Chains A and B, each alone.
Chain A
Amino acid sequence: MSGPLHQFEVKPLINTPMTIGGYDFYFTNSSLFMVLAVLVSVLFVRFGMRSKSLIPGRMQSMVELTHDMVANLMKENIGDEGKKYFPFIFTLFIFVLFGNLLGMVPYGFTFTSHIIVTFALAFFIFVTVTIIAFVKHGTHFFRFFLPEGIPFYIIPIFVPIEIISYFTRPISLSVRLFANMLAGHTLIKVMAIFTISMGALGILPLLFNTLMIGFEIFVAVLQAYIFTLLSCLYLNDAVHMH
């Protein structure tokens, strides 16, 4: 019987690496599920919107609800200036959502349960948002760390705190998603092992796992939502500096 952490193992699917610039790149199960997430999301939107009818069918409703949810989120948090960033945020949401949900499929691999993946996403957002802020506001961006009108004697305390607070963003964004997915999936596996090893009493962890699977699907959606919400908030700070 494999351990509860066995499911997070990254293994190459094709044993011959691609060598680019002296580095070996393997196509792993993680890569496979990322590709799958992209394919599934493209299929979901394309297939859902194939008829483009005024009165939507079931699939079209799902696509439209997803779209409206993200659009409303952006409207609430950024306002009309946020409209041009919609493709970026929507892509992000749907990629993380399908990444989380594909991990709930039996024998699936959850690529969002690896900190390097979520950190790459979060760092990309962080850099993009910082660049947007710089392009929009120039050196006024540094007002972020030093608001007008603070007394000069708290500047040496205030500025480092603000800088730390700013650099917290990519880390808390990535750790939150990664920790939630890792913890949930591990707990499910541990309970599954209990079910087998406890014999007749195994019915108890089995019942717990039944609830847990439902909860995990909820967490998968919630974490994708929170990831998107926070990206929107960061973007809002970048667009509307004060």
Chain B
Amino acid sequence: MEKNSQDNQDKFAALKEKLKKLQPQKNARNFYDDDRKMLGIAARIGLEIVIALVVGVGIGYFLDKLFSTKPIFLLLFALFGIAAGVLNIYRLVKGNEYGSGYKNDDKKD
């Protein structure tokens, strides 16, 4: 029993040493992952504002056609579209992606 636990302790120490050596490699890999993620964000960010505006204007135009109230909804939804675009970008940069609502802050991690 004595001997066994001594053995285990030696093994444990050896493993610890090994882990310590491998740690920098793991960190390097994380950095690479982050890089890839940033590239993904960079490739997407420009489009978001434009698309949200287009969707907003589209909805506004459709509602105007429906109620023949040109151009009230168009103007209103263009503003909403801009706001949605900014919101999308804010969420993208914060790492919440498109999740909606306030409570997303504690979703990740």
Q: Which residues of A contact B (CB under 8 A)?
A: 143-145, 147-150, 157, 160-169, 171-172, 175-176, 179-180, 222-223, 225-226, 229, 233-234, 237, 240, 242
Interface assignment of B77: CB less than 8 Å from any CB of chain A = yes
A175 near B47 (CB under 8 angstroms)? yes
Between-chain CB contacts (< 8 Å), 25 pairs? A147-B101, A148-B103, A150-B102, A157-B80, A157-B83, A160-B80, A161-B84, A164-B55, A164-B81, A165-B52, A165-B98, A168-B55, A171-B55, A172-B47, A175-B51, A222-B40, A223-B43, A225-B40, A226-B43, A229-B40, A233-B97, A237-B100, A240-B107, A242-B101, A242-B107
Name B25-79 residues within 8 Å CB distance of A. Answer: 39-40, 43-44, 47-48, 51-52, 54-56, 59, 77
Q: How large is the interface on B (under 10, 10 to 19, 20 to 34, 35 or more residues)?
A: 20 to 34
Cα A146 to Cα B78 with chains together (Å): 21
Cα A171 to Cα B102 with chains together (Å): 24
Cα A143 to Cα B88 with chains together (Å): 18
Chain B min CB distance to A98 (Å): 20
Note all chain B residues with C-beta closer than 8 A to A162: 84, 100
Closest residue on chain B to residue A162 by CB atoms: B100
Cα A148 to Cα B97 with chains together (Å): 20
Given A157-B83, A167-B55, 9 new contacts (CB under 8 A)? A147-B100, A161-B87, A171-B54, A171-B55, A175-B51, A176-B43, A225-B40, A233-B97, A242-B101
B52 near A143 (CB under 8 angstroms)? no
Most buried by A among B39, B87, B98: B98
Note all chain A residues with C-beta closer than 8 A to B98: 165-166, 168-169, 233-234, 237
Contact A172/B51 with A161-B87, A164-B56, A165-B87 known, Cβ cut-off 8 Å: yes
Contact A168/B102 with A176-B44, A176-B47 known, Cβ cut-off 8 Å: no
B101 near A164 (CB under 8 angstroms)? no
A168 near B51 (CB under 8 angstroms)? yes
- Pick from B40, B85, B97, B100: contact of A145, CB below 8 A: B100
Note all chain A residues with C-beta closer than 8 A to B84: 161-162, 164-165, 168
Chain A contact residues: helix, strand, loop or mixed: helix
B107 near A168 (CB under 8 angstroms)? no
Note all chain A residues with C-beta closer than 8 A to B52: 164-165, 168
Note all chain B residues with C-beta closer than 8 A to A179: 47
Note all chain B residues with C-beta closer than 8 A to A226: 40, 43-44
Chain B min CB distance to A12 (Å): 32
- Pick from A163, A171, A225, A242: contact of B104, CB below 8 A: A242
Most buried by A among B40, B51, B99: B51
Chain A min CB distance to B78 (Å): 10
Chain B min CB distance to A175 (Å): 6
Cα A42 to Cα B40 with chains together (Å): 28
